[in-house]
Structure formats: C-alpha cells, structure tokens
Structure 1
Amino acid sequence: MARQPIYSSKRSLFRRINEWLHLWLGLFSGIVVFVVCLTACFWVFRYEVWYFTESYQRVPAQNRPFLAPSVLLQKAGAFVRQTEGKTVTFTGITYGSPHKSAFVLYKPSKEKIHQVFLNPYTGAIIHHKKGPSTAESFFIFVRAGHRFFWLPPKIGSPIVGTGCLIFVITLITGLIWWYPKKWTKTTRAKSFTLKWRANWKRVNLDLHNVLGFYAFLVVLALTISGIVYSFRWFDSAYHWLLTGRPQTHPNGHHDDHPFSDTTRTARLYDKPEDQLWHRIRREHPGAPGRLSISFPKAAKDPYEVAINPEEGTIYKTYERFFDQYTLKELPSEESRRYEELSAGEKLYRMNFDIHVGQILGLPTRILAFFVSLIGASLPVTGFLIWWFRGRKSITSSQTPRRQAIAFTSRTAN
C-alpha cells in the first residue's frame, strides 16, 4: 500500500522546509517530550499529595506565638538522645505558616538527612523522619524522569534540555504549519474546533492541531523556563536578556556568600538563633510563609536566614546573612527583596514558579496540568498522523466486491 507524502509539493519551499523540520524533529524528540510533559503533570500537584499523605506536616492553628528556636532545639535534642542514645548537632530549623509544623534537621551521616517535626506552639514531637515518605519517593522518581530521563544527571540533563530545545522549534514550525493560507469559514472550523463525530484519524488530527494551538503559548513558556535548568549557557543568556546584565550566581550556585569574621574566637550572644528569630519577627510582623535558619558549619560560615513572606510560591524568597560571632548583618546580592528588583529581575526570579505552574496558586497549577497533558499528547498524535498518512481503512462490513474495487482504485491511483 503506497503512502502519500505528508506535505504537498505544491507548497512553497519555505512551507516544505518548515513541514520537514516539524516532522523529523518531532519524531526525533518525541519520546523525551512525552516523558518530560507526562511527569510534569504529576509534579504539578505534589503539594496537594503531600498535604493529604503527610499529616505530620500539619498542626491546628492556635492564637498564640510560636516557641523560640532554642526551645524547639532543646526538645528535639532530648528526643533524639532518648531514641538514638546520642547527641546530634542540628544544622537548621524551619517554621511555616500557622497551620504547619516546624522541623529541625541533622545529618547522622554524610549522605543522610533526618528531620524532627514539632508542634511550634507546644514543642511536642510529631514525627521523626529518617527518609523520604512513600509520596516523596514517588515524586523523587517523577522528578528524576522529568529532569534527567532517569539517567545520571550529567548525561540525562543535556538529553532533556536538547529534547526541549527541539520541542520549541517543533512548536514554532507547528504553528506555521497550522496557519492556513486563506481564512475561510471552512479553515476557521478546522483550525479552532474539534470534530468529534468524524473518523478517528480526523479526531486525532484535530487533537494535534487544535489543542496544540490553544496550548501553544503556555507550553512554550513552560518549556523555555525549564531549559534554564539544563544548560548554564541558556540560563546565563536568559538572565542577560531579561535583566541586561550578567549573572552573579550562574545556575543559582551561591558559593560566594559572605563570610563571618574568623579573627574572633567567641560569640557575643547567647542563643544566637533566638536573637535572629526575634529580629526577623519584629521586621516581619504577622504570619510567616516560611522562615528557615541555617546554622554555621565552619568557622567562616555565617548564619543564613531564608525568608518567604508567602506560602506556595518561592519567588519572593530572599536570604540574609549574619556573622556567627557578632550577628552583624553581612551584605549580599541575595538579600535584595522582590520589591527592590527591576521588572526583568522579577520575571527571572519567578522562573521556577512559572515553570511548575504555581505562580498564581491552584488555578495556574490546574492550567499547567492540562497544558502539560496536551504537550505529552502531541508526540503521540503526531506520530499517529505520520504513521497512518495515506492509509485508508477497510472495514470488515465491506463485501469482497467492494474491497476489490477499493483496492483496485488505490493501486490505479
């Protein structure tokens, strides 16, 4: 059975090149795009899944202040000594919103991180987490597919990034292919509506063309914002394009944070974590979104305080650094608040929240879910269009005479 060409020779050279690129680049990157988009569908709702499956992260909100860090650290330390028979050094403490539990972290070994969850109002121990939960393990698996195609990161990240770059080209060439030469009533119907009562090949074609058009802008935004995490050169170029200046910390590596004054040998304050806690709370009255205090590990390290005024997004998060001996605040580029940034810097800071669809909360997460689902369907529907191009199905209800006539007609043509 002869197959007809997928593009017409009567089209212009530009159109033929565009269609050739769309076809073969789409076939080449299809499996990567399918996996990346499908895993994105799951990743979008990770917060909701964790909320319902990890009850230890929630506490009833109370009309009283949280306990100071030193109190929670003391209670967590006593609990660990009792359960594990040893004293541990905590590396940080995190507070959430009024209905979230607080937790402290320590490292029993170089590779492991344990967490003790506490009620921030009473100090009661809620949960001792020694590894990822079932839901967390699932999303770790999902993220490994989304970011690295389940390969070692140094191999998988370039593969995913390259697949997404090719996907951007196929989206643009697909839009050009979709655009009709002349707008008529018929072309408008074909371009914007799904003809559900047609045969399956026509429905499949509409799913590819029509849904692809409606999802185009959002899929393009999600894809470009994701390529940032695969290639440093793309991240740097993207940052320069938005802000007009080079990055201070390429790919988010903040290895050059300010250092404490190591000429000092003694700390001037008792319970420095409490001093920082009260200072931050005075400067940020009201309910915090998330507040984390990371403790110094070496003599040169400062206290690092990450402040997020909102819950559910991270683009307003900023970090402040304090000398571990004097608690003097140390200047840093990362201490700039969202409100102090230029328009381009704000957009760059929003990149992760845009990419995962959480920029405006649940509505944009739902949008990202359906758009990612459409993105995952495009390689499938596109492959079916290519594979069955020129084929005409013969139903079993046809008589032998009709089958023979149909076969003769096709071969004659």
Structure 2
Amino acid sequence: MNAATNQRFESLDAIRGVAVMGILAMNIVAFALPFPAYSNPAAGGPPGGADLAAWFFNFLFVDSKMRGLFSMLFGASTLLVIERAEAAGRSPLRAHYARMLWLALFGLAHYYFIWFGDILFLYAVCGLLLFPFRRLSARALAWWAAGFFLVGAALFLALWASLLAAQAGALPVDAGAGASTALRQIETAMGANSPDYAKELARYLGSYGAIVTHRITETAGKPVEGLIVMLWETMGLMLAGMALLKSRMLTGQWPAARYLKWAIAGFLLAAPPLAGLAVYQAKAGFSGVAVFGSAAALSLPFDIMMTFGWAALILWLIRITVSDAVRARLAAAGRMAFTNYLTTSIVMTTIFYGYGLGLFGSVGRAPLYLFCFGMWAAMLLWSKPWLDRFHYGPLEWLWRSLSRASPQPMRRRPPAQ
C-alpha cells in the first residue's frame, strides 16, 4: 500500500478516537489512586467486591490492550505522515525527525509538570527508530514486530524467573544479592499492603510545587527508565501498526467478515489465559512477584492478541453498526487525540490532586469509571464542533507549526454563499 495521499481514512481516525478514550479507562486508577494500586487491587489493603471486579475486568480487557491499540495507531499514523511529506515534495526525514523531537519535549513537559504517567516521550524515542522501516513490506514489518515482542518477553520472563528464585532462596550468594534487592523493590512497588501507598497518598494530596519538585529531583530519570522497560514492546506494536496500515486493515478496507473473524480469534485466544493469570494473582495473595509476573511477563502475548482483537472488533462495529454521526464524532476525537490526551491529564490531575479538588485516594476503583464516562462525553462533544471551525486541534496545530518552523493555517474558511 502507498499511503502517500491527502485522503483521510475515517476508520483510522475513529479507531484512534476509541483508543484515546480507552487510554483513560486504563489510566484512571493511576490518576486517582497511589500507583501501587494500578496493577494491584490489594495494594492499599483488602479490596471490596466491586473494586475486585473492576480490577478483573480491567486486567482482562483494558490494561495494556488500550495502550497497545494507541501504540499501533501511532505507528500507522507515523507512516502516513512520512509518506504524505514525501508526496508533497517535503523532506520526509526532516518532517519525521522534527515531529518526534518536538513530541519528546512535549512528553518531558507532560511528565515533569502535569502527570507522571506520560507515554509521549516513549513514543517519540521509539518514533525516531521507525524511519528506516518505512519502506518494508507488511510481511517484513510483521516479522520485525514479532522479533521485538520476543526480545521484550524474554527480558521480562528472565527477570520474573530471577525474582521467583530469589523468593525461594534458590540463588547462589554472589548472584542472589541483586535479585533480592529487585525482589524487595517489586514487593514495595507492586505488592499487597504496599508501603509506598501511604507515601504517594500524602505526596499527591500536597501542593503543586512539592509534586513538581519531587519529579525534577527524586524521579527525574523516570522517563528514561520507562523507555528502557517499554521500548521492545512499544516498537513491536508500532511496527505492527505500520504493517496493518500497509495491509489495509486499519483503513477499514477489509471485508466485514474478516474483521469479525480476527475479533473472535483475538478474544477467544487471549481471554481464558488472562483470566487464569487473574486467578493466579488472587490465589497468591496479590504478592508483588505474582502481580509482576502476570502483568509484565506472562500476559504479554495474550495482551497483544487481544489488542489485535480490539482493533478488529472496533473496525467491524464501525463498518456494521455505528451510525455516520457516531463515526464522525469518534473520528474527530481521534484527529484531536494529542489534545484530548493532554487535556485529560490536566482535567484528571485537577480533579484528584491536592492542588485541585483533592479527591486522590478517596474514590474506589469501580466508581472511577464514572469520571471516564464524563471525560469521554466531553471528548465526543467538543472535538467535532472544534474541527468544523478549525483544521486542527489546538495542540495538533502547535505541534505541526513547531515541526514545520512556521505557523500553519488554523481557521477554516466559511463556505461560499
């Protein structure tokens, strides 16, 4: 497929709209509760039934899958931008690297001054590595993606195995010290009744200045640490997105029956093992090792399968059941994904952090999804009217203008009378 065209693929924009909404469903716990609770429902103490059910649903269908979907779409969109720059006679190399460098700066600003859960810096650095892959076939891209997935899975599995060995006291003295330290860190950060829970509760109910100071001093290196941990999986997902774009899957050009087959296969292959991993964590008392092994190592192949299933299901629904009006709303939210993503961080931190409404730690896991519904409604309500008047979302316009080193036309001309 040659994507070098001025045509917009509404299905691609619409699935991106679903993905940016899904990212909030994944992140809402990290916005509203201490981070140990993100993966572990028992981090702050024994969970209630509703919160446990919400965690189970999130682990099964949302966590990692929505980030995976967003990452695949980033890879696909990056390829489109490169090819469109080339078709327009602009330097594709300059266009691509300027966009990624500015995105990295946006990501760092997001991390240090708004919210610690930034993914933009990770995406920008991975994006810098995508350019040499742009001319590969869909098949070659799929093989490269599989290679990145395998390396990432092997690294996580090796770490989990060393944690299990350290937990069992089965490592030699000279090899056990580092693993024992990692075990303590994992139990502190991800275990039941995490000692970090109360510390984070106090921190994020504090002042804005104290939160920012903590990030630029004690956790200044977290964006780079996150990059080291997540690079392999993220690169695999982005390359998979490029492959799916070239195969016309993400542009909505497959037969509806093929999307449905992919969706059914993705969910049927992934859901039972993921449910088994959820049960394993509960039976292990939500220990840090069990949570880490399940969420980071063992779930990876099934998360990827379900991510493909979600992509196919959304595209099938867009083709078969979604009205033109709903599709247009989703596509507008997707075209403004950058603005909607950062706006969500500002809104949610203002609601939950101490310098805003101060609700951090006081809302249970299950009721948090009410905040998701409200933000989703806002995205769907405001994105299309904005784009009816302007060519880009506010931050999309700023990103494009900075990347091209000149202000881009913003306001749409009214139709001739």
- Return the TM-score normalized by structure 2: 0.22
- Return the TM-score normalized by structure 1: 0.22
- Tell me which protein shows more strand as a share of its residues: 1
Q: Which has the larger radius of gyration?
A: 1
Q: Which has the higher contact order (CA 8 A, sep 6+)?
A: 2
